[in-house]
Structure 1
Amino acid sequence: MKNLAIIPARSGSKGLKDKNIKLLNGKPLLAYSVEAAKNSEIFEEIHVSTDTILYADIAIEYGASVPFLRSGKNSTDTASSWDVVRETISKYEEMGRVFDTVTLLQPTTPLRTADNIKEAYEILQRSGKNSVVSVCEVEHSPLWCNTLPQDGTMENFIRKDISILPRQKLDTYYRINGAVYIVKVPYFKACKSIYDENCIAYIMDKEKSIDIDDEFDFKLATAIINISNNE
Structure 2
Amino acid sequence: MRRSPEATRPGVSALLLTALLALTACASPGGATAAWAEGLDPVSTPDWAQDMARFDAEDAAHPPPSAPVVFTGSSSVRMWETLARDFPEVPVLNRGFGGSQVRDAVWHADSVALRYRPRQIVLYAGDNDTAEGRTPRQVLDDTRRFVARVHAALPGTPVVLLGIKPSPSRAGLLPVQRETNRLLADWAGSQARVRYVDVFNPMLDADGRPREALFLADRLHMNADGYALWRELIRPVLVR
TM-score, normalised by the number of residues in structure 2:
0.28
More strand by share: 1
Q: Which has the larger radius of gyration?
A: 1
Q: Could you say which structure has the greater relative contact order, defined with CA pairs below 8 angstroms and 6 or more residues apart?
A: 1
